[in-house]
A = this chain, B = another copy of it.
Amino acid sequence: MKPGSMKIVIQTDAFDLGAEVNAMSQGRTDIGAIASFVGLARDMNEGSGVQAMTLEHYPGMTEKALATLVEETCARWALLDVTVIHRVGRLLPGDPIVLVAVASSHRGEAFAACEFVMDALKTRAPFWKKEETPEGERWVEARVSDNTAAARWDELP
């Protein structure tokens, strides 16, 4: 991956998947595959309604953790570009929260790297969600399944 072709942004505003993916492939003809992921706020979690959520993060560490994670990803797969955008602040159900897009020559690498970034982000990037429910506010608890998802990359090729 050429230096600088990595974009990591923490923002309160919405992002535009189409624009981010177009920016990756714009003016180049060596990309064969772009795998992307958008995570959205759902109206339901742990069996109760969610009216809104607020995302808090650790400024400074967030950027550092994501940069380390993306560098690790680029060392593991042959990639041409990576974009990670994570929102913070108050979000409503249906709002996009996180975007990961990975460009590569071939699809296998793009898919694997995109899913790896999401799995690793879920356990290593310092974001916390607080949900507003009819029963009051509550901090979301970390999921065992996220640790399982992240851990399987330690074994996979």
Residues of A within 8 A of B (CB): 16-19, 21-22, 25, 27-44, 93-94, 96, 105, 107-108, 110-111, 114-115, 118, 149
Contact = CB atoms under 8 A, between A and B. Distances in A.
A44 to B, nearest CB: 7
B43 A33 contact: no
Contacts of A110: 37
Given A17-B21, A21-B17, A34 B43 contact: no
Given A108-B149, A110-B37, A118-B107, A29 B43 contact: yes
B25 A105 contact: no
Stoichiometry, copies per complex: 2
A42 B36 contact: no
Contact of A21 (B38, B44, B105, B118): B38
16 contacts: A17-B17, A29-B93, A30-B43, A31-B94, A32-B42, A33-B37, A33-B38, A34-B38, A35-B36, A36-B38, A39-B107, A42-B105, A107-B115, A108-B149, A111-B114, A111-B115
